[in-house]
């Protein structure tokens, strides 16, 4: 496994982050335990979750599974950099969601209880809250940090100017501010290259791409459909998604086949070639998928390969404002 620092911090995290969104809705507790144990066995120390994960009617269910795994001992908690999120509504009551100081306090305590831990390594805002002042948010985070309940703060799904707002407000308070930004980023969705990535690099944030395989579209979906390696319901959904971009995805799979590389691993490798990226989030459902992802750490894409991919999956044209104004 390869490790890197999370942005400008001294925190060392694996170059692949284990996503746990499927734990509960698609993967039962026993299988989730096995995947987390296997992640540790191959050196992955960075896990991502959220207080809202767990599936319909099971708010916090994923954190509960992680907490039960931590409780089995063996240094599992100590070896894990755990990142969770706050924002989602735990109920229909008005103060049970978003980023008020009240909800940040309540949600953090609830996450700590579910995960059976005294502290959260990275406490991420799952979405920007435009109605709550930054001074209120940062004061709440400062209290949690002073209490030893959180160590770092991160964001998720922020625009570049939200990152700037957050960091400048934190700077006024002499607070570290954001350590990371978790963004929707893959070959088919490159909007963050305009402003989010430059803002993250300027302020020293680590970038953690979610859905790096575009919901499976970049994971060899055409070959899987042709071989019947996709369930009937998923095949129907995949075909609908492919309808408009099948030629592009076919060209992608041909690109990978020429290099004798798996499309999923190559998509992760493309992200890892960007110096702004800390660790893509992988969501394996089997040991084989997890082990396959490790190959991404060793795939080399030279300048010609990167140019070919830029032609196949055009980005926004560079960083802002040059991308749209000389």
Handedness of CA 86, 178, 316, 280 (dihedral sign): negative
**From CA 30, how far away is CA 39, in angstroms rounded?**
14
Is residue 53 part of the annotated active site? The answer reads yes
Residue 191 CB: number of other CB atoms within 10 A? Answer: 14
For residues 187 and 270, is the Cβ–Cβ distance under 8 A? yes
Phi, psi of 92, deg, nearest 5? -85, -5
Handedness of CA 78, 80, 81, 85 (dihedral sign): negative
Give the SS3 label for residue 324.
coil
For residues 255 and 228, is the Cβ–Cβ distance under 8 A? no
**From CA 255, how far away is CA 312, in angstroms rounded?**
10
Kindly provide the residue ranges of all beta strands, DSSP E only, lying in the chain, ordered along the sequence: 3-5, 12-14, 17-19, 46-48, 81-86, 120-125, 150-156, 178-184, 206-210, 281-282
Phi, psi of 4, deg, nearest 5? -150, 165
Radius of gyration of the chain from its Cα atoms, rounded to whole angstroms: 20
- Provide the token pair at 13: 């995290």
Burial 87-114 (b: 16+ CB within 10 A, else e): bbebeeeeebbbbbbebbbebbebbbeb
Query: Which residues neighbour 3 within 8 Å (Cβ) at sequence distance 6 or greater?
Result: 12, 13, 14, 15, 45
Catalytic residue among 3, 53, 203, 324: 53
- Provide the token pair at 9: 């911090």
Q: Which residues are catalytic?
A: 53
């Amino acid at each position: 496994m390869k490790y890197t620092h999370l942005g400008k911090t001294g925190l060392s995290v694996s170059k692949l982050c284990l996503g746990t969104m499927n734990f509960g809705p698609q993967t039962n507790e026993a299988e989730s335990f096995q995947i987390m144990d296997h992640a540790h066995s191959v050196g992955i120390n960075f896990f991502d979750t959220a207080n809202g994960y767990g599936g319909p009617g099971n708010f916090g269910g994923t954190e509960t599974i992680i907490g039960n795994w931590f409780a089995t001992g063996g240094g599992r908690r100590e070896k894990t950099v755990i990142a969770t999120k706050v924002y989602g509504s735990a109920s229909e009551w008005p103060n049970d969601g978003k980023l008020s100081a009240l909800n940040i306090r309540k949600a953090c305590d609830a996450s700590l209880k579910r995960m059976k831990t005294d502290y959260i390594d990275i406490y991420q805002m799952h979405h920007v809250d435009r109605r709550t002042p930054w001074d209120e948010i940062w004061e709440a985070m400062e209290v949690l940090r002073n209490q030893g309940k959180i160590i770092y703060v991160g964001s998720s799904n922020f625009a570049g100017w939200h990152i700037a707002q957050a960091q400048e407000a934190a700077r006024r308070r002499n607070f570290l501010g954001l350590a990371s930004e978790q963004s929707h980023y893959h070959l088919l969705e490159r909007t963050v290259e305009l402003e989010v990535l430059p803002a993250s690099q300027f302020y020293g944030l680590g970038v953690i791409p979610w859905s790096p395989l575009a919901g499976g579209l970049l994971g060899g979906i055409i070959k899987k459909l042709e071989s019947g390696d996709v369930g009937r319901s998923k095949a129907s959904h995949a075909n609908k998604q492919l309808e408009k971009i099948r030629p592009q995805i076919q060209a992608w799979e041909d690109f990978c086949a020429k290099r004798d590389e798996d499309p999923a691993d190559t998509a992760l490798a493309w992200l890892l070639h960007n110096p702004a990226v800390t660790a893509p989030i992988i969501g394996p459902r089997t040991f084989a998928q997890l082990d396959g992802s490790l190959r991404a750490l060793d795939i080399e894409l030279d300048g010609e390969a990167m140019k070919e991919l830029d032609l196949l999956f055009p980005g926004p044209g560079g960083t802002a404002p040059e991308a749209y104004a000389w």
